[in-house]
Amino acid sequence: MCAVTRRDPQLRLEIVNAARLLITEKGVDSTSLADIARTVGISKGTLFYYYATKADLIFDVTDQYFDQTTRTLNAWVDEVHDALTANEIFSHVFHTIIEDELRSKLHHYLIEQALTENGNLKDRFLEKYQEWTEVIRTGLSRVFPANGDQEVLAMIVISCLDGLILQAVLGNKSIPIEAIVTHLSTSAAEK
């Protein structure tokens, strides 16, 4: 109607949600625009009207994923307070992330897309990784005040998570999350 709401934002959201759903199930390459259109219940023509190329749509899916991940991380950090031990926090975060198979798959499918495409998806991912590392660092600073190594520890935490996610997605059912968490939180405290 008006210039601001060009292209019904509600439908736009539905498209992105459907795309994310299908990508999560099958990966970017195996998800066709016809699939997405069918899932939303619109025609391919309409889909094209909202997203001129598949890359544009993936862009928005990624954006949505980035925002959600960042919000989740921030929510965790906000919840950190004195009553919780480092071990408890780590344990909660590791379990939640590693056991969310759908999210993990999407994560890797989008990274794969970033590596393959020639656009700026790689840069956007890098930027996000820095942002997420910073959020984690902030959280760590509340648990272990006055410890110089927080940035390094944040990177270790994020890397470990990514690596464990990968194994979880591959089907590793016996990841010793508790032991890993204990090791990491102990080493953090001893610093």
Partner DNA sequence: GATGAATGAGTTTTCATTCAT
Partner DNA sequence: AATGAATGAAAACTCATTCAT
Binding site for a second copy (CB under 8 A): 26-27, 29-30, 105, 108-109, 111-112, 114-116, 122-123, 125-126, 129, 149, 151-153, 155-156, 158-164, 166-167, 169-172, 175-176, 179-180, 183-184, 186-187, 190-191
Give the dihedral sign, CA 153/109/169/39. Answer: positive
- Which of the choices DNA, a second copy, none does residue 80 contact, using the CB cut-off of 5 to 8 A by kind? none
Q: How many residues bind DNA (CB under 7 A)?
A: 25
Residue 5 in contact with DNA, rule: CB under 7 A: yes
Q: How far is the CB of 26 from a second copy (least distance, A)?
A: 7
Using CA atoms, how far apart are residues 94 and 109, in angstroms rounded to an integer? 20
Q: Is 148 in the site for DNA (CB under 7 A)?
A: no
Interface with DNA includes 42 (CB under 7 A)? yes
Residue with smaller CB distance to DNA, 29 or 79: 29
148 binds, among DNA, a second copy, none (CB under 5 to 8 A by kind): none
Query: How many Cα neighbours within 13 Å face the side chain of 106?
Result: 22
Sequence letter at residue 164 = L
CB of 81 to a second copy, least distance (A): 25
Long-range contacts of 126-133 (CB under 8 A, 24+ apart): 128/66, 128/69, 128/70, 129/158, 131/70, 132/69, 132/70, 132/73, 132/158, 133/158
Q: Which two tokens stand for residue 55?
A: 């890359």
Residue from 43, 116, 130, 187 binding DNA (CB under 7 A): 43
Site string for DNA, 50-79 (x = CB under 7 A): x-xxxx------------------------
Structure tokens given for 14? 């539905």
CA distances to 1, 160, 178, 189 from 54, in Å: 25, 32, 41, 47
Helix (H, G, I), strand (E, B) or coil at 122: helix
Question: Which positions lie near DNA, rule CB under 7 A?
Answer: 1, 5-8, 11, 30-35, 42-50, 52-55
